[in-house]
Amino acid sequence: MSNSLSSSSISLAQLAASVCLATTGYALWLIVYRLYLSPLARFPGPKLAALTKWYEAYFDLISKGGGQFPFEIRRMHEKYGPIVRINPFELHIDDADFYETIYSFNNKIDKMDDFQYRFNIPNATFSTPGAALHRLRRSALNPFFSLGRIRERSPQIQAHFDNISNRLSVEFADTDKIINLADMWACFSTDTVMEIAFARTSRLWSLPDFKSPLVFALQQKSEWTHVTLHFDWILLLISSLPNWLVKRMVAPMKPLLEFREVRLGNDPFVAFSLNLVLSLTNSLCWVIQDIGMHIDDVLGHRNLDAKQSAMPTLFHDILQSKLPPQELERDRLSDEALSVVGAGTETVSNALTVGTFHILNSPEVLEKLKKELNEAIPDPRTIPTWSELEKLPYLFAVVKEILRISYGDVERLSRINRTEAMIYKDWVIPAGVPVSMDAWHMHTNPEVFPEPDQFRPERWLDNPRDNTGRRPLTYHLVTFARGSRNCVGIHLAYAEIYIGLATLFRRHDLELFETTRRDVDFYREELKACPAPGSKGVRVKVKSIHSVEQAVL
């Protein structure tokens, strides 16, 4: 018996030693490969970043509370030059002239596979990694979000902000009530995209103090982006749990889980990420559930002619496209819907919030803008269409500067050319290597935008050229990215920004309340540029110039 136990102990010890030796050997091989043998070994950058993605994870999750990797990338460029290796697998470039090479319409450029499941909408066009499938799916969306179609919807967009404008006049003007502009603008952008894309009325504008559970849920989801990026197994773990267990673990998500069981399938993670600390109201659940019912309705009438519908939706267009049957399944359309709502809310509302602050914080800009709007819009009850507003030169300049200084998504956009090497100056980037740039580096390049931290709409007046004189300055504005994967809703975003700003500043006087640049300046990255912890947001008091009859939608 003792010999048997002794033999067993020796075997276990040998096994442990073998595992230890194998692990050590693998680690040493990985170090040697990544530092000396990898195709990226010759590119400059910190050795620790080349060794492990934990370097990136530290800045994403720990340093100053997380969201610091863009600033670390900038420090890398300052030390190593315009091309750096930011992790074992990826390069980042800081050169305004190279942006169009990476984000082009011509090259067959893929996204990294890691990003497909990051938001648990793997079948949405936004999440599609492969260029061919992305192009197919995108072709079904493009007509709906085309310039002409969005111009036709200008009255609807105006009506949504009229609802808000009326509340400002009746409920908030000349009172001590404080408005958080992020809440107000998010209600506007969400109501707009819900009605235009799905013909559904969310009426978030009517919520007390513009506090929307849906908007808050989307914000909570953004805060989880770095966790799910570095620990993607969390998605698999949560998705594998039965709903009844998740409901017990996270009680507030019960309403949305029950909704998804009925309408959008059994997917706990989506509910988890959208409803981490919050219980959706019955009315809001009804709105989201109504989208699911709308998908069912459209799928049940595949031959429905959109022209016969008083308000054709995105799904009418998709079903009339040339997509194959597998692309018209309910789960894929549900992913597309969630993607459109998320993307259609955050970028626009953040731009409008940051922009409104800078206008109010710059008396000369405010005076010039109001003067132009007063002259162009004699009757504040009748706001011109988006097409007409675009022709106002100072408003045009203000919008461009807002988009520059609010950045859009500040997270780097990684792209892969799997078939051809990229040439950057004297560097040959092998095919299959992810390469990235980002809007923050582009928009704060002092050679292109002198004094980039200053809000100066005048830089956009009189069709300016860039520092080389070869291109218009607008060439370097990449808030909505560029190329075949640029933002499909760019025209809708522009329409909302023009109409929202023109209406707000033509009809209302606002003053900032206990708000400084600290409340808008880029401190941490959560997809978008977020301010420092502790910020209460951009808050204002309102004085009304002219009331408008409510156009309830």
Q: What is the pLDDT of residues 265-279, one digit of tens each?
A: 444 333 433 333 333
| pLDDT band of 255, cuts 50, 70, 90 | very low
Q: Look at residue 198 in the predicted model and tell me its pLDDT.
A: 85
Has residue 345 got a pLDDT over 60?
A: yes
Q: What is the pLDDT of residues 360-370, one digit of tens each?
A: 999 999 999 99
Token pair 């010999």 in the structure block, residue: 3
Q: Look at residue 238 in the predicted model and tell me its pLDDT.
A: 64
20 is in an annotated binding site: no
| pLDDT band of 448, cuts 50, 70, 90 | very high
Has residue 73 got a pLDDT over 60?
A: yes
Q: How far apart are CA 339 and CA 342, in angstroms?
A: 5
Q: What is the CA radius of gyration of the chain?
A: 25
Has residue 540 got a pLDDT over 90?
A: yes
Average pLDDT value for the chain? 86
Q: Look at residue 467 in the predicted model and tell me its pLDDT.
A: 85
Q: Look at residue 516 in the predicted model and tell me its pLDDT.
A: 97
Has residue 202 got a pLDDT over 90?
A: no
Q: How far apart are CA 239 and CA 409, in angstroms?
A: 27
Which one has a higher pLDDT value, 80 or 338? 80
State the CATH architecture for 89-258+267-543.
Answer: Orthogonal Bundle (1.10)
Residue type, 418: R
Give pTM, 2 decimals: 0.88
Which one has a higher pLDDT value, 6 or 34? 34
Has residue 301 got a pLDDT over 90?
A: no
Q: Where are the chain's structural domains?
A: 89-258+267-543
Counting every residue, how long is the chain? 553
Q: Which residues contact 227 (CB under 8 A, 6 or more apart)?
A: 61, 234
Q: Look at residue 541 in the predicted model and tell me its pLDDT.
A: 96
Residue type, 126: F
Q: Look at residue 105 in the predicted model and tell me its pLDDT.
A: 85
DSSP annotation string for 174-216: TSS--EEHHHHHHHHHHHHHHHHHH-----GGGSGGG--HHHH
Which whole number is the average pLDDT over 324-341? Answer: 87
Q: What is the pLDDT of residues 43-71, one digit of tens each?
A: 999 999 999 999 999 999 999 999 999 99
202, 287 Cβ separation under 8 angstroms: yes
Q: What is the pLDDT of residues 186-199, one digit of tens each?
A: 999 999 998 998 88
Which one has a higher pLDDT value, 20 or 244? 20
Which H/E stretch holds residue 257? Answer: helix 254-263
Which H/E stretch holds residue 463? Answer: none
Q: How far apart are CA 177 and CA 431, in angstroms?
A: 57
For helices 54-61 and 69-80, angle between their N-to-C axes, nearest 10 degrees: 130
Has residue 119 got a pLDDT over 50?
A: yes
The alpha carbon of residue 166 and the mean position of all alpha carbons in its chain are separated, in whole angstroms, by: 29
Q: How far apart are CA 101 and CA 415, in angstroms?
A: 11
Angle, vertex CA 551, rays to CA 545 and CA 553, nearest 5: 135
Q: What is the pLDDT of residues 384-424, one digit of tens each?
A: 999 999 999 999 999 999 999 999 999 999 999 999 999 99
Has residue 212 got a pLDDT over 90?
A: no
Q: How far apart are CA 50 and CA 179, in angstroms?
A: 46
Of 201, 56, 132, the closest CA to residue 418 belongs to 132
Which H/E stretch holds residue 296? Answer: helix 282-299
Of 399, 372, 407, 397, the closest CA to residue 463 belongs to 397
Q: Look at residue 59 in the predicted model and tell me its pLDDT.
A: 97
Has residue 285 got a pLDDT over 80?
A: no
Q: What is the pLDDT of residues 410-419, one digit of tens each?
A: 999 999 999 9
DSSP single-letter state for residue 306: G
Q: How far is CA 467 from CA 96, 210, 394, 459, 475, in A?
A: 11, 43, 22, 12, 12
Enumerate helices (H) and strands (E) in the chain, giving the number of each: 23, 12
Has residue 538 got a pLDDT over 50?
A: yes
Q: How far apart are CA 166 and CA 162, in angstroms?
A: 6
Q: Look at residue 228 in the predicted model and tell me its pLDDT.
A: 79
Has residue 478 got a pLDDT over 70?
A: yes
Has residue 542 got a pLDDT over 60?
A: yes
Which whole number is the average pLDDT over 68-96? Answer: 98
Neighbours of 4 (CB within 10 A): 8
Q: Look at residue 289 in the predicted model and tell me its pLDDT.
A: 59
Which whole number is the average pLDDT over 156-162? Answer: 96
Q: Look at residue 469 in the predicted model and tell me its pLDDT.
A: 86
Q: What is the pLDDT of residues 98-110, one digit of tens each?
A: 999 999 887 688 9
Q: Look at residue 274 in the predicted model and tell me its pLDDT.
A: 38
492, 193 Cβ separation under 8 angstroms: yes
Q: Which residues contact 297 (CB under 8 A, 6 or more apart)?
A: none
Q: How far apart are CA 43 and CA 62, in angstroms?
A: 26
Range with the lowest mean pLDDT among 162-166, 263-267, 521-525?
263-267
